[in-house]
Amino acid sequence: MEKTRVAIVGMGTVGTGVAKLLLDHGDRLARHAGRVLWLEKATVRDLKKNRSIQLPKGVLTDDLNSVLQDPNIEVVAHLVGGIEPARTIMLQLLDAGKDVVTANKALLAEHGEELFDRARALGRTIAFEASVGGGIPIIANISQCFSANQIRSLRGILNGTSNYIITQMEEQGEDYADAVRHAQELGYAEADPTMDVDGSDAAQKLAILAHLAFGVRVKWREIHRRGLEAFQLADLRYASELGYRIKLIATAHLHEETGQLELHVSPTLIRKGRPLAEVRGAYNAILVVGDAVGDMFFHGKGAGQMPTASAVVADMIDTAAGRTDITFRRLELWSDRESKIEILPYEHSKGRYYMRFHVADEPGVLSQITGILGKHQVSIASIIQHEPEPEQTTGSSSDESRDGREGSPLTVPLVIMTHQATESAAMAANTEIRNLASVRDEAVYLRVSEGDKA
């Protein structure tokens, strides 16, 4: 059987997993590729670093030129994270005549146009299944298997780290800081987890999926995003009381009446029992709705060594077999082809909302709040107002039983669920209510899913 010589650039967690699959399951991979995937080189920055894999003699190197200058190496797994030097390395690989497989969603979201233009000009290909959803084959399904459909919406949990943190808070009662620390101990979260928890990682992936599904070219930083800072442990409890769970949801929804595309990443209340609400731990899930196929639900490990390596090697097989070359040229991704779909300004999007306020337990407060909501055309669906905690009714004057100011009234949580309203109206009402003298602390408002099967 003929050989396709391949290389790995970047032997971190995923790169090591790719090497394991290539070395341990060569026969299995060859059956699918119709040729042997022969690991020729694996480049690293530090040759002295201990690794969990024993590579054949002569494979491991710290010299990128040994890959760039070897004409026999045809396919390279580009597994370098971040923007630079990842961008420069990918351009060098393309210029050297290599077909590239990557898992770097940040790089594609930031420089997809430049990289794909270069690949097309040079007659090379870029495959990127592992960039979104880890082991979930969402890229191939959207770009190929759903090609007979107009996709109407994509809604999903695209960041397993944030979902793990929410699950720990909900099921174990951990506060946010403890849940983040546990995610870091398990390797789900980086030392600086900002990109995961503030919605940036999910926005990068959503930008890629939106381009595949709708042809739009949107900068990921222009996608409205809110992260886990938007709610607290108490909100998970109140959501549960109302029959919901809170998930960080990335949404791309095509409005048929206007032809505009709604894009955002937002903490969202999903009714219990629906597929997205039941996704636990460090898993990803994506609900795709097509006009012909209907609802399709994808669920699996969105990160981790072997799930991501599985997607990388599948792309290497398709590239070696020539399938990537066909799809890459037909799809014209990040090309000059213009999409006629406009992006809906986020403030014009509509939805239901969950609002929580900590208010003074005194007459007239509720009427103030409902009056403001009415002024902004935000209709109330339901209200929950619990009585003060038992210790607050005993006449204690301690700081714990009051809002922290001498002689101030007792406070109670007030939770409001609205009917559908525009984002601008909900935000304006929330801001005005938050500024009332009777409202203590920060106010919380979150989106509520209306999808029957979400």
Q: Is residue 272 part of a domain?
A: yes
Domain of residue 107, CATH code: 3.40.50.720
Minimal CA–CA distance to 113: which of 241, 207, 29, 7?
Answer: 207
349 vs 331 pLDDT, higher one? 349
Mean pLDDT of 225-229: 97
121 with 211, same domain: the answer is no
Question: Under a CB-based contact definition with an 8 Å cutoff, are residues 334 and 211 in contact?
Answer: yes
148 with 70, same domain: the answer is no
Place of tokens 């082991």: 135
* Rounded-to-integer distance, Cα 93 and Cα 78, Å: 9
Q: Is residue 166 part of a domain?
A: yes
Which of 282, 301, 320 lies at the terminal end of a domain, its last residue? 301
296 with 147, same domain: the answer is yes
386 with 406, same domain: the answer is yes
* Rounded-to-integer distance, Cα 343 and Cα 255, Å: 10
Is a pLDDT exceeding 80 seen at residue 160?
Answer: yes
Instruction: Find the length of the chain.
Output: 454
- Residue 436 DSSP symbol: S
406 vs 53 pLDDT, higher one? 53
* Rounded-to-integer distance, Cα 217 and Cα 223, Å: 11
Q: Is 297 exposed, middle or buried (0-12, 13-18, 19+ CB in 10 A)?
A: middle
92 with 159, same domain: the answer is no
CB under 8 Å to 99, separation ≥6 — which residues? 74, 75, 76, 124, 125, 126, 127, 319, 324, 325
Label residue 407 left, alpha or beta by phi (over 0 means left) and psi (-120 to 50 means alpha).
Answer: left
175 with 297, same domain: the answer is yes
Percentage of residues in the chain with pLDDT exceeding 70? 94
77 with 217, same domain: the answer is no
* Rounded-to-integer distance, Cα 247 and Cα 284, Å: 11
Residue 370 — very low, low, confident or very high, per pLDDT cuts 50/70/90? very high
Q: Is residue 310 part of a domain?
A: no
380 with 419, same domain: the answer is yes
Which of 301, 326, 357 lies at the terminal end of a domain, its last residue? 301
Domain of residue 197, CATH code: 3.30.360.10
228 with 278, same domain: the answer is yes
118 with 144, same domain: the answer is no
The whole domain housing 143 covers 138-301
Q: Is residue 26 part of a domain?
A: yes
* Rounded-to-integer distance, Cα 312 and Cα 8, Å: 11
Q: Is residue 120 part of a domain?
A: yes
Domain count within the chain: 3
What is the DSSP code string of 179-219?
HHHHHHHTTSS-SS-HHHHTSHHHHHHHHHHHHHHH-----
Each residue's pLDDT tens digit, 97-110:
999 999 999 999 99
Looking at residue 398, its pLDDT comes to 39
Catalytic machinery residues: 205
Which of 109, 131, 153 lies at the terminal end of a domain, its last residue? 131
Looking at residue 389, its pLDDT comes to 56
CB under 8 Å to 301, separation ≥6 — which residues? 134, 135, 136, 160, 282, 283, 284, 307
CB atoms under 10 Å from CB of 433, counted, come to 24
- Residue 401 DSSP symbol: G
Tokens, residue 174 = 């951990």
95 with 231, same domain: the answer is no
Is a pLDDT exceeding 60 seen at residue 399?
Answer: no
Q: Is residue 202 part of a domain?
A: yes
Mean pLDDT of 338-343: 86
Q: Which amino acid is at 395?
A: G
Domain of residue 419, CATH code: 3.30.70.260
Q: Is residue 311 part of a domain?
A: no
Q: Is 249 exposed, middle or buried (0-12, 13-18, 19+ CB in 10 A)?
A: buried
Looking at residue 1, its pLDDT comes to 82
CA distances from 127 to 25, 99, 248 (A): 21, 8, 27
Each residue's pLDDT tens digit, 41-54:
999 999 989 999 99
- Residue 407 DSSP symbol: T
Q: Is residue 375 part of a domain?
A: yes
Looking at residue 113, its pLDDT comes to 92
CA distances from 422 to 71, 235, 267, 454 (A): 57, 22, 17, 20
Q: What is the pTM of this model?
A: 0.91
Using CA atoms in the order 125, 129, 132, 137, what is the torsion angle rounded to 10 degrees?
150
126 with 23, same domain: the answer is yes
